[in-house]
Amino acid sequence: MNLEGKVALITGSSRGIGATTAIKLAQTGADIVVNYPFEAERENAETVVAKITELGRRAIMVEANVADFTRAKELIEKSLEEFGRIDILVNNAGITRDNLLLRMKEEDWDAVMDVNLKGVFNCTKAVARTMMKQRSGKIINLASVVGIMGNAGQANYSASKAGVIGFTKSIARELSSRGITANAVAPGFIESHMTENLPEDVKEAMLNSIPLQRFGTQEDVANLICFLASKEADYINGQVINVDGGMVM
């Protein structure tokens, strides 16, 4: 996979899957826009940018809360000012506010929907005209297996990710005639600071639901995103691909 000459924007890429994806895309030749949501994440974003420049690729970082349409539009505009084009948009930014339905606050529902679903709409709408003029583009949205199967205590998160799946399929139908593909990646249980802190009995129960008997890694997810961003995936469109070790199967 060779992304030489391509420009990739990854939302929420100051840490986690977003940061790993940004670095992986740079390793395959792309120049990168690192997005972070607020000032507290600036140092992490600087670290990601430094790693990318060490690879010999160009990188900038832009602070923007993608839940705000104006800020999302500014994110796209600043990226275009620097690079002149955007070939790959990875809508990765996401948050959780988990709770059982009867205890879930309205603001927790709204916050998750605003970032996880509206943020995908905001950034995709803002970049669509540019990609249509280019007659090329790759839009890759981060969904989740819970958007497919649901999960107790995550009604807001599950609904937002199910929305991402429906949105992805719809824009794939709308934009394909202009050479733009849209696909969703649905991670399962991925190793992170959250899974490290789980009680052992909870970890064991989770692992027993995964045929491969291990949690996924951030690299597992980033590898698929890089493939979908490449020319090798040009005929893959409107798909939801699970990275879950066979759990949902």
Residues with catalytic function: 157
In terms of Cα–Cα distance, which of 188, 12, 19, 193 is closest to 94? 12
In this structure, are residues 6 and 86 in contact, taking their beta carbons and an 8 Å threshold?
no
First CA to last CA across the chain, in angstroms?
28
In the block, tokens 């691909």 appear at 241
Q: How far apart are CA 166 and CA 107, in angstroms?
A: 23
In terms of Cα–Cα distance, which of 236, 224, 47, 32 is closest to 143? 224
Our CA angle for 109, 160, 242, nearest 5°, is 145
Q: How far apart are CA 87 and CA 83, in angstroms?
A: 10
Q: How far apart are CA 222 and CA 3, in angstroms?
A: 14
Other CB atoms closer than 10 Å to residue 84's CB: what's the count? Answer: 9
